[in-house]
Structure 1
Amino acid sequence: MDLLCLSSRCFRVARVALVPGLLLALGACAAGDSSNPAAVSPAAVAAPAAAPVPVSAATAVPVSTTAVARDGLAVLIRASAVACSNASAGTGCTAGDADSGDFYDVELSPDCGDQGFFAGVAEAKGVETLDAVPGSGSKASATAKLSKGQLVCVQGIGRTGQNPLFYYVVAIPANTVGKCKGNALCDTYGDRPISGMKGTRGEACHVAAPGHYAGNCAQGWVSADTLEVFSSGM
């Protein structure tokens, strides 16, 4: 009996000892089963994709001055109603009626920066700017009325021979002209009332790039004798 009891007790002891080992083995199998979602480690979970970093105004690539100048020349050719044999360079330009012989050789210069050509309205009654050079069969119409004392940048010169007869001008804000600072000429000529402007919708006249302007700038052809040209520069 004692031996039987001892055997029974030994059997029970062995069964109890096997249970923890069996549980550990089952746990190890469960941990190694990749099909079990609970077994996926946090490190295996893919991190969310980083949001793209927006490009700020400070890091944006600016429009080049060369591109603005090139576009400015094309705009000037259209606005001044001239025809050029080499439009990309702005050379070989004429205004008027070439067929009738009533035309002008035109020199274009869209730059209104340090190398710009400036003048002031000297006509007591002011002057109207025209969308084309007056001539035979011309249908030139006024685009604006500039008051006496208005500072202008000369962007085109219409000549017969060597004599300038018409200027294509644009009225620009005097405080944007670098050469006006401390210059007595800009006390006499500066910002004056402008009336009768066509196409006043959109932005006000402003600097688009050094020496180049965009927006609603009063511009057009005027007779050469209505201006005081700063032949010696500013």
Structure 2
Amino acid sequence: MYICTWCDLKSSFESTAHGSKIIVTTRSAKVASDLGTLPKHDLQIIPEEDCWKLFKKHAFGNVEPSVDLDLEVIGRQIVQKCNGLPLAVKSLGSLLHSVQDLKDWKNVLNNDIWNLREDNILPALWLSYYYLPPYLKRFFAYCSIFPKDYRTDKKYLILQWMAQDLLQPHKTKTLEEVGEEYIEDLVSRSFFKYWRGDEDTITMHDLVNDLAMFASGECCLRLRDKSSDALIRNAMPLMKRY
């Protein structure tokens, strides 16, 4: 099946202009070996000082901050725990953006979640999810229904939330406006990202998608060949009728 799929995909490249180059990015060494015609290039982790700069950008905004020395000491220790992974650095920087209390930063640094070893889920992402407001956890977990690399229209996602009665009415805002605020909040925390700068289209990083799948448990389900009847019975329907 894998070989047939690759042959079908490869055939679409045969009509490209002479000299064209195709770059494949993957976390799988086997995929890199099977698809590559040149030696693979392994990306290295980001140097710690560059990680700190990335963390500062998300924790204090795009302007050059005047960082409290105590916060910097704790922040650099948090960055060290991210092991040079930019997604981890971004998610925790975004988490701490609205929190400038030293006690809260210490709580993040010393949280037991750092010791968790769930497959494919970064402890830093777990921490970011742990500190989400309860209502945002529900919306984020709902997005586990989307497969990896899936892009969705922001307005379409809001309509799905509305169809599931997830959005709470607000005295001065429409449900669509409430949904927009929730999406912006999840983007600011690096759970969602805009697709190539298009603020109407959102997607999730693969590792964030893994977290959404784990967080949703049996509430949401992607139908697969090996899905059990029990899981299917427990899952929520994708869309209700209006």
TM-score, normalised relative to structure 2: 0.25
Identify which of structures 1 and 2 has the higher relative contact order when contacts are C-alpha pairs closer than 8 Å and 6+ apart: 1
Higher helix share: 2
Larger-gyration structure (1/2)? 1
> By percentage of residues, which structure has more strand?
1
